[in-house]
Amino acid sequence: MTAHLPTYDDIEAAAKRIASHTIVTPLLRSPDLDALTGGTVLLKAETLQRTGSFKFRGAFNRLSQLTPEQKAAGVVAFSSGNHAQGVAAAAKILGLKATIIMPADAPAIKLANTKAYGAEVVTYDRVKEDREEIARRVANGRIIVPAYDDPYILTGQGTLGFEAMNQAKALGLTVDAALAPASGGGLIAGVGLAVHHANPNAKVYTVEPVGYDDHKRSVESGKRERNSSLDAALCDALLAATPGEITWAINGKALAGGYAVTDAQVRHAIGYAFRTLKLVVEPGGAVGLAAVLAGLHDTKDRCTLVVLSGGNVDPAVFAECLTL
């Protein structure tokens, strides 16, 4: 896949490759949510995926393609948490050594889980230090597994969309629009490829936190935009500085637009997911639902896929959201 951009066929191949190690997560529908929004809302509960997020899909797909020599050397990755856990878990299954570069202010649950999978964790200051420079130094020749800008990572993430479209078809439903979180853009690119294969007329939208909405602004300007802030934020999983090169090559043509949600809207969505849907969703994983609940995306008389991308929420943050 190094000679061309990833395609739907590559996603199908990835789905076969990772099938024996991933969970086919449910596609849920809530009568309460449908009544509230006036449409059909399908929730892809990737909160129930191995390691608690979609990131395991791409990580396992990438690591399974390493050569024997690369596997023997081990891997290095940098992540705020979910990619870290995905790489650590995939490395454990495949018997590889993994070193993960993580921000010191990452949620404690994500740091602890990454270590629990057997990975070595090296922390850094996300404002003052460059994680990619640290990763290159630590790697010392080992393969660095990127969080999104890699064909195998992207197509692994795209298996989520592949599953969702097959599940929707089994329900006799055609997805008119899809909303998914965006950080570097790997998930939305993979989901977009799968959605458009099933329905070329479907609209695909990114959802990001206000202040970190580089994809939304990039779609509007037609070129890759950057976020001005590198500070920690509620949606810790969605803080990439700019869309990836490979991901933007796909997303720049495929996206219909983007939405930016406030922290208040995200907290409301987390509380709604727990109280009404009985799901634990982390801030970054709840942005799509937040956009729907806030009325930013019109769901009336339409079938909308919303990706709940992860459930690794800090207990204190989760408790705060439930008291609002």
How many CB atoms are closer than 10 A to CB 206?
A: 33
- For the cut 90, the answer to whether the pLDDT of residue 232 exceeds it is no
Eight-class DSSP state of 257: E
Q: For residue 105, list its beta bridge partners.
A: none
Above 70 in pLDDT, residue 2?
no
Mean pLDDT of 104-126: 93
- The residues spanned by each domain of the chain are 8-54+151-322, 56-145
Type of residue found at 121: V
DSSP states along 19-51: TTTS----EEE-HHHHHHHTSEEEEEEGGGSGG
Do the domains at 8-54+151-322 and 56-145 have one common CATH topology? yes
pTM given for the model: 0.95
Tokens of 238: 């969605």
Q: What integer pLDDT is reported at residue 3 of this predicted model?
A: 52
Q: What is the dihedral of CA 32, 37, 42, 47, to 10 degrees?
A: -70
170-222 confidence digits (pLDDT tens): 999 999 999 999 999 999 999 999 999 999 999 999 999 999 999 999 999 99
Q: What is the mean pLDDT of residues 277-287?
A: 98
Question: 56-145, what's its fold?
Answer: Rossmann fold (3.40.50)
Q: Does domain 8-54+151-322 have CATH number 3.40.50.1100?
A: yes
- pLDDT mean over 246-254: 97
Percent of the chain scoring above 90 in pLDDT: 90
Residues 6+ apart with CB under 8 A from 135: 76, 77, 78, 101, 144
